Structure 1
Amino acid sequence: MKFLNLKVIVFSFMLGLGSAAQATVIGADFTGGDTYGSGSFNNIGWSFEVTSTIAVDGLGIFDRHGNGLAAGHQVGLWDAGGTLLTQTTVTNASVATASASGLGNWLFEDITAITLVAGNYVIGAFYTDSDPDVVMASVTGLTTMAGVNYLDSLASNSASFSMPGAYGLVEPGVFGPNFRAHSVPEPASILLFVLGLFGVSMLRRR
C-alpha cells in the first residue's frame, strides 16, 4: 500500500490553513435599508458578539452613493467594558469596497491587526452635528462574517469621539462604521490535526 509523504500532507495543510485564515471579509453588510442623517447623535455604531476568534485589520465607514465623504471620520473598536481597543480615521483615501446593497461603498483604513476572542464588542464612529455624511439603518438582508453576530444599534450625543451608547431603534443599524477581519484557526483544531498526523505516522512504522 502506498502512503502520501507525511511532510507533503503537513505542508499542504498549513498552506491551506494560512490561506483560509487570511481571507479578509467585511464584518457586516446588507442588501437594502433606509438613509438617516446623524442629527444630534455624534457617536454612532452597533454592538456585536464574537463567537470564534477573529483578527480585525481594518476599520471603515459607509460612503452612501460612493461619491466620497464630506470629511474624514474617527472610527473605534471597544470591548464590552468600554475600553478602546483601536482607532483610526477613515478618509476618501481609504480603500473602497463594494457593498452588497449597491447603495454605496465601504471605505476601509488599514490598522495593525487586533485579535478579538469570544465576547461582546462595539464599533463606533464620530459624526458632527447634522453631518452631511449619512448612515444606513433599518437595513434588510443583513449578513455578518462567520463567527460574528449582530446585537444592537447604538447612538449617543457627545461633543467628542467616544463609545456610542444604548439606542436600540431603527434596527438593524446603525451602519456608518464597520470593520474588516479574518478568522483565526482555533488551537484545538490544529492540535487535533497534528495528533491525527502522529497517529498516521505511527501506523506507517508498523
Structure 2
Amino acid sequence: MPDVIFAGPEGRLEGRYQPGRAANAPIALMLHPHPQHGGTMNNKVVYTLYQAFARQGFSVLRFNFRGVGRSQGEFDRGEGELSDAAAALDWLQAYNEKASQCWIAGFSFGAWIGMQLLMRRPEINAFVSVAPPANMYDFSFLAPCPSSGLVVQGDDDDIVPESSVAKLVNKLSQQRDISIDYRVVPGANHFFTNRLDAMTGHVEDYINQPPHEPQPGEPAGK
C-alpha cells in the first residue's frame, strides 16, 4: 500500500495506491468526506471501500483533498476539490493505461464530488456513492446521469436523511439507459458504525455483477 505524492492544481496531493495484479486491472478512485469536518482519506468508510475494491482486483487510489494531511492548498468549497479529483484520476490512468474499467467511489461530500467528476469524464463506467448528501448539495447536474451505479445509505443517518437520498435515487432511476441500484443498510448511521461489513457486502456484490463490462467501442479506463 505505497504512499504516493502527485501533482494537483494547487501543489502536491498525498495518496495511497494499491496496484492490481493484472496488466489490465480495472481502476477505482476513492473520494473522502468533507475536509472541514474531519474528512480524510483515512476515514473508515473510505478505507473500507478502498480495501473492498482492492480485494476485487482493482488498482485503487485514495487521496487527501487540498489542505488535508500533506496535500497542499486550501479548501475551495468543492470547486477545487473537483479539480483535485480530476488530477487524481489522471494520475491513476497514467499508471494503468490498459485498465479494463474505470470506477469512482465517494462517501458523503466525496460522493457529491464523485458524481460531478462522473459528468466530466465519460470514461468512468460505474460509480459507488455512499451516503450522498442530497439534503445539503444540489445534484440537479445529473441530467442525465451518464453511468449506472450503486447508492448505499443507512436508514438511521441523522446527517443525511434516508428520505432525501431515496428522492434523489427515484429521480435518477427515471432516466433512460442507466440503472441505479439502491441499497439501504438497516440500523446504519452516517458513518456506518458497526455496519461497515454490511456496507462492504453490498459494494462487493455490486462490483461482481456482470452488467458493468464495457461494450465494444465504449471507453474504459483510458
TM-score (norm 2): 0.29
Greater Rg by CA: 1
TM-score (norm 1): 0.30
